């Protein structure tokens, strides 16, 4: 018998690869952080001698969910500016609050709060875009969470940097500090076409090319963004990025709520990745991403929550359900964006967008043991006819009981093992008092 670190027996496993596959009464064998076998439970006990055995016979195992667009530290601004259009939300409320409050401690405490929420909801990897990326990377490592950290660039000074040159120089230092880290990857993160100049985008593209990094950017989020871009230089944002040679399989375009057919063809031609954030777009009334059209055309579409300041949660299970339902309504086709596709968007497609699909995104031999266990035995999930549909349309994040990242048991029976919930609550309460005082002064 082969000695291994961990053997997890489960009622069901949805590996995502192959698509539409469900294994019943199977086990996952884990050794040295990786999946070494997926096989029937009765066979597993004959082949493996584990140091730790988990018997979760009423549970479903899925790959760790990937939140492909977040502003993690902004979780401290959850509910701070609700029921506003994007321009008013951003210009009148969020940016002034950030100017007053954002510093290293804000980012550390806000990112910990976000990670605690994400882990308890089954998210094992997040793609972040925010100030002080060095701090976000540091606390992600401490929590044992997988992350792609955005090296932010924006055409105005912040507490992190004063100009493009400094943003990129500091970003390069963060990249150097985490080069080849097993959990932490980097991306260049120019905020949006409307907030980053041509010269800055050229500098971003140069650094991305030199270090083989993805570029993570908000794109075609609102009609006014596109109208203003046309007034300014006669080009829609995607056309401008094409002129700057920014479009490629390394580009992660977030939102894409306003696309014409020609632009969809361009995304296909350049292999651009799109991140759909349905609940944020709905709340801000930004528009509808044509997900069904994109998927049919062959575009890789991932899922993200956006920040908790505009969503207001970081619940990827909820995001899957909304994406599937909204996709049907927008396309006027009940068969579009089926449950298995929504699950793939929340897992493997996110990994592909981040360039880490050889590591995570599905349960496959040789990949990292990034695994989520969900309790399917409660009354709210009964009866079960189609397990994948049940996962997407019925299951809520309170059913997540256990999470492993690279084989480490990060959430155990809904208790976080690498983050101090009490400390996070205390610090969150302190920030709430400080920020709420600003609200009362308005």
Per-residue pLDDT at 82: 86
Residue 176 has pLDDT above 90, yes or no: yes
- Lookup: tokens for 14: 């949805």
Residue 442 has pLDDT above 60, yes or no: no
Tell me how far apart the alpha carbons of residues 246 and 256 are, in angstroms, rounded to a whole number. Answer: 16
Tell me how far apart the alpha carbons of residues 370 and 8 are, in angstroms, rounded to a whole number. Answer: 12
pTM: 0.97
Residue 440 has pLDDT above 70, yes or no: no
pLDDT tens string 249-275: 999 999 999 999 999 999 999 999 999
Count the Cβ atoms, other than its own, within 10 Å of residue 425: 12
C-alpha distances (whole Å) from 338 to each of 321, 361, 389, 399 are 10, 18, 8, 22
Pairing state of beta strands 408-412 and 400-405?
antiparallel
pLDDT higher at 81 or 30 = 30
Per-residue pLDDT at 439: 67
* Assigned CATH topology for domain 65-354: TIM Barrel (3.20.20)
Residue 378 has pLDDT above 80, yes or no: yes
Q: Do domains 2-63+368-406 and 65-354 have the same CATH topology?
A: no
Tell me how far apart the alpha carbons of residues 98 and 77 are, in angstroms, rounded to a whole number. Answer: 9
Domains in the chain: boundaries: 2-63+368-406, 65-354
CATH code for 2-63+368-406? 2.30.40.10
Name the helix (H) or strand (E) containing 264: helix 261-270
In 3D space, the residue among 133, 142, 141, 292 whose CA is nearest the CA of residue 216 turns out to be 133
Give the pLDDT band of residue 1 (cuts 50, 70, 90).
confident
């Amino acid at each position: 018998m082969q000695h291994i670190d961990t053997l997890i027996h489960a009622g069901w496993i949805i590996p995502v690869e192959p698509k539409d596959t469900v294994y019943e009464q199977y086990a996952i064998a884990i050794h040295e952080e990786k999946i070494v076998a997926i096989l029937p439970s009765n066979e597993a006990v004959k082949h493996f001698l584990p140091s730790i055995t988990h018997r979760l016979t009423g549970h479903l195992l899925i790959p760790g969910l990937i939140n492909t667009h977040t502003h993690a530290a902004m979780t401290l601004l959850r509910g701070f500016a609700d029921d506003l259009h994007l321009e008013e939300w951003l210009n009148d409320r969020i940016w002034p609050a950030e100017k007053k409050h954002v510093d290293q401690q804000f980012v550390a405490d806000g990112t910990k709060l976000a990670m605690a929420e994400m882990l308890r909801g089954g998210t094992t990897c997040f793609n972040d875009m925010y100030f002080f990326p060095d701090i976000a990377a540091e606390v992600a490592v401490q929590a044992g969470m997988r992350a792609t950290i955005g090296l932010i660039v924006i055409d105005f000074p912040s507490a992190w940097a004063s100009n493009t040159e400094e943003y990129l120089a500091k970003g390069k230092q963060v990249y150097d500090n985490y080069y080849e880290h097993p959990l932490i990857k980097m991306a260049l993160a120019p905020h949006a076409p409307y907030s980053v100049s041509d010269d800055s985008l050229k500098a971003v593209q140069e650094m991305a090319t030199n270090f083989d990094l993805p570029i993570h950017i908000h794109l075609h989020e609102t009609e006014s963004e596109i109208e203003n871009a046309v007034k300014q230089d006669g080009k829609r944002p995607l056309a401008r990025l094409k002129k700057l040679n920014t479009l490629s399989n390394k580009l992660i375009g977030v939102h894409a709520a306003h696309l014409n057919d020609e632009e969809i063809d361009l995304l296909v031609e350049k292999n651009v990745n799109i991140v759909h954030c349905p609940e944020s777009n709905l709340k801000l009334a930004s528009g509808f991403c044509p997900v069904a059209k994109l998927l049919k055309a062959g575009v890789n579409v991932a899922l993200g929550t956006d920040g908790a300041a505009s969503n207001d949660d970081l619940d990827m299970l909820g995001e899957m359900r909304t994406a599937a339902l909204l996709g049907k309504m927008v396309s006027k086709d009940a068969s579009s964006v089926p449950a298995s596709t929504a699950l793939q968007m929340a897992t493997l497609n996110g990994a592909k967008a981040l360039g880490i699909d050889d590591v995570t995104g599905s349960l496959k031999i040789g990949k990292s043991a990034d695994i989520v266990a969900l309790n399917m035995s409660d009354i709210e999930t009964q009866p079960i006819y189609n397990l994948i549909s049940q996962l997407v349309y019925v299951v809520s994040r309170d059913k997540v009981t256990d999470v492993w990242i690279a084989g480490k048991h990060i959430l155990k029976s809904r208790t976080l093992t690498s983050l101090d919930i009490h400390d996070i609550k205390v610090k969150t309460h302190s920030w709430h008092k400080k920020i709420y005082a600003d609200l009362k002064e308005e």
